[in-house]
């Protein structure tokens, strides 16, 4: 009975996330269809040559290969010596499920499931995925925060102090209203209790990871350094795309806006951050003085790059290359 209830909750949560993405798509479609915005949006895309887009996709794929080596490094720290190309294949499999498959099972869970087929150290293998994701998320937020205070702290993003105060006031009101609603409804109290349990579980995982990896600080520093480097390369690539489609905002805006929205995309209100990342990125660029259509164009370009770069994961899954050699199957076998 308990398992059935848990399954129903997971299904409801999944459909709510799908509903969020569908609502975002409908809202964008309606907005683009008004005032001939689709013409401006189409012209923005037309300015970018297909070979240039292919080059950005290629650079992103290479960055993902190197990021997979970050995870491989974390695995080796715990004595899990799987082949580096096996780690790359599992990484792209997870990338495919995160960005191209609207399923209820995320890419990290897929990686966690299949990496345990490659080693007997199942707990350490699964924990390495948590650490890998945590390093990526923390690196994004650190980069956004550092670049904001160094590059954009004195830049006017088009929001007056009065408007900022009004936004903050309404944010507090909305948060308070949600808290009261959650406390007043039995289902809300159960949801809050589950959220607290997840927070406790996260804290325990973080502590366990700190203990396991604390004896290898150089590995963690190398992982962070590699992440900062590759995020910088990817962000610069999207800046070049922005220049192609006519966005005049400087590189400093990209180094704040992109990692910040990557962090926001980790909030599980949609599938693969769809809608959250695009809406946040477009909104930030509009505040920086970029036209709304061009801001939407760069946000959609990023999603397109993610989806195309994730397609190798489909081939890996179809050919069974994500499994250990003794378990691999030929395409089409049952």
Q: Residue 171 above 70 pLDDT?
A: no
pLDDT (0 to 100) of residue 261: 92
Which residue in the block uniquely carries the two structure tokens 């397609």? 311
Over 287-322, what HEC string results? HCCCCHHHHHHHHHHHHHHHHHHHCHHHHHHHHCCC
Establish if 25 belongs to a structural domain.
yes
Range of weakest confidence among 26-30, 149-153, 237-241, 322-326: 322-326
Q: Residue 104 above 50 pLDDT?
A: no
User: Which domain, by its residues, includes 283?
Assistant: 2-155+217-327
261-293 pLDDT per residue, tens: 998 888 777 777 788 889 889 989 988 888 888
Q: Residue 325 above 70 pLDDT?
A: no
Establish if 104 belongs to a structural domain.
yes
**Mean pLDDT, residues 36-64:** 86
**Mean pLDDT, residues 218-223:** 85
Range of weakest confidence among 17-31, 97-111, 256-270: 97-111
Establish if 184 belongs to a structural domain.
no
Q: How many CB atoms lie within 10 A of CB 291?
A: 17
Establish if 161 belongs to a structural domain.
no
| Sequence-distant (≥ 6) Cβ neighbours of residue 47 within 8 angstroms | 244, 245, 246
More confident residue, 146 or 162: 146
Which residue in the block uniquely carries the two structure tokens 């660029």? 285
pLDDT (0 to 100) of residue 196: 65
Establish if 94 belongs to a structural domain.
yes
% of residues, the chain, pLDDT over 90: 14
CA–CA distances in Å: residue 264 to residues 22, 170, 260, 324: 18, 19, 6, 35
**Mean pLDDT, residues 22-51:** 84
Establish if 191 belongs to a structural domain.
no
The pLDDT confidence band at residue 255, using thresholds 50, 70 and 90, is very high
Q: Are 298 and 245 in contact (CB under 8 A)?
A: yes
pLDDT (0 to 100) of residue 24: 83
142-178 per-residue burial string, b: 16 or more CB within 10 A, e: under 16: ebbeebbeeebeeeeeeeeeeeeeeeeeeeeeeeeee
**Mean pLDDT, residues 298-313:** 91
Establish if 282 belongs to a structural domain.
yes
Average model confidence (pLDDT) for the chain? 79
Which residue in the block uniquely carries the two structure tokens 């495919």? 96
Range of weakest confidence among 107-111, 149-153, 315-319: 107-111
Q: Residue 94 above 50 pLDDT?
A: yes
Q: Are 209 and 134 in contact (CB under 8 A)?
A: yes
% of residues, the chain, pLDDT over 70: 75
**Mean pLDDT, residues 203-218:** 76
| DSSP code for 327 | G
Q: Residue 131 above 60 pLDDT?
A: yes
Residue 110 backbone dihedrals phi, psi, to 5 degrees: -65, -45
More confident residue, 237 or 108: 237
Q: How many CB atoms lie within 10 A of CB 306?
A: 20
Q: Residue 242 above 80 pLDDT?
A: yes
**Mean pLDDT, residues 122-142:** 85
Establish if 92 belongs to a structural domain.
yes
pLDDT (0 to 100) of residue 281: 92
83-121 per-residue burial string, b: 16 or more CB within 10 A, e: under 16: ebebbbbbbbbbbbbbbbbeeeebbbebbbebbebbbeb
Total domain count, the chain: 1
Residue 133 backbone dihedrals phi, psi, to 5 degrees: -65, -40
pLDDT (0 to 100) of residue 172: 62
The pLDDT confidence band at residue 103, using thresholds 50, 70 and 90, is very low
């Amino acid at each position: 009975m308990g398992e059935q209830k848990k399954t129903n909750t997971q299904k409801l949560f999944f459909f709510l996330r799908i509903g969020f993405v569908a609502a975002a798509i409908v809202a964008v479609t309606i907005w683009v269809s008004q005032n001939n915005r689709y013409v401006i949006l189409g012209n923005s895309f037309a300015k970018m040559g297909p070979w240039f887009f292919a080059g950005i996709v290629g650079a992103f794929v290479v960055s993902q290969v190197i990021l997979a080596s970050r995870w491989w490094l974390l695995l080796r720290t715990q004595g899990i010596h799987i082949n580096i190309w096996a780690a790359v294949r599992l990484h792209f499999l997870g990338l495919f499920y995160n960005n191209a498959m609207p399923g209820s099972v995320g890419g990290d869970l897929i990686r966690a499931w299949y990496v345990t087929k490659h080693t007997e150290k199942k707990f350490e293998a699964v924990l390495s995925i948590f650490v890998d994701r945590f390093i990526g998320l923390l690196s994004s937020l650190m980069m956004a925060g550092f670049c904001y205070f160094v590059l954009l702290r004195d830049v006017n993003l088009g929001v007056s102090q009065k408007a900022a105060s009004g936004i903050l006031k309404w944010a507090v009101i909305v948060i308070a209203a949600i808290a009261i609603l959650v406390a007043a409804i039995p289902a809300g109290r159960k949801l809050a209790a589950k959220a607290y349990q997840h927070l406790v579980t996260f804290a325990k995982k973080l502590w366990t990871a700190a203990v396991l990896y604390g004896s290898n600080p150089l590995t963690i520093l190398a992982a962070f350094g590699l992440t900062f480097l590759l995020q910088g390369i990817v962000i610069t690539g999207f800046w070049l795309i922005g220049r192609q489609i006519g966005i005049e905002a400087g590189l400093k805006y990209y180094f704040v806006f992109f990692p910040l929205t990557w962090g926001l995309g980790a909030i599980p209100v949609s599938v693969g951050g769809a809608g959250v990342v695009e809406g946040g990125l477009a909104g930030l660029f509009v505040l920086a003085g970029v036209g709304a259509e061009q801001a939407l164009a760069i946000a959609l370009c990023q999603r397109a790059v993610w989806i195309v770069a994730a397609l190798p994961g489909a081939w890996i899954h179809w050919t069974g290359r994500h499994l250990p050699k003794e378990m691999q199957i030929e395409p089409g076998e049952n």
